Homo-oligomer: A and B are copies of this chain.
């Protein structure tokens, strides 16, 4: 009787929306990776049966496309808050970006999407375009720190690569120790010697 109400859903007890399904997909990816995204698993998480899935989406391909589109939209969205960081001093700005990338919500998702991009060129294109935006901000931080263009470019590239490397090398959510290490690394990179 009460069991049927056991929803992990965010919205009260109401019927599901497309974004509930998308959110469940991201959660699954973040927790168990891309290959965990199966209709059955989504249904279990949302407390509904497969029929419900097929009411909202035509098929699993349609759902995956919607997931990828939502990821890209999220990134465009956070572009604004990324730009808002510009008022911080460069070193703190970099730390803040790195912290976001390696946050427990992000890191697995980010890694999964990059893995997905290896198989799906349209996802790959979205990753590339998102990367470009972020790289520009990283480079800007180094320019603001007073480095000449060429030097800023080199350092930005290294930082960017390191960030991606961190999430690929991680096998569990980065902890406080990792965060300190990242911060130290950025400190070194941004130091004008």
Contacts and interface: CB of A to CB of B under 8 A. Distances in A.
A119 B116 CA distance: 10
A160 B21 CA distance: 44
Interface string A112-130: 0000001111000000000
A121 B121 CA distance: 8
Contacts of A121: 118-119, 121
Contacts of A120: 119
Nearest to A118: B121
Copies of this protein, total: 2
Contacts of A118: 121
Contact-residue bracket for chain A: under 10
Interface in A120-157: 120-121
A122 to B, nearest CB: 9
- In the A-B complex, the 4 residue pairs with the smallest Cβ-Cβ separation, listed nearest first, are A118-B121, A119-B119, A119-B120, A119-B121
Nearest to A121: B118
Nearest to A124: B121
Contacts of A119: 119-121
A118 to B, nearest CB: 6
5 contacts: A118-B121, A119-B119, A119-B120, A119-B121, A121-B121
Interface string A11-39: 00000000000000000000000000000
A35 to B, nearest CB: 13
A61 to B, nearest CB: 12
A119 B118 CA distance: 8
A96 B116 CA distance: 40
A147 B120 CA distance: 40
A120 B121 CA distance: 9
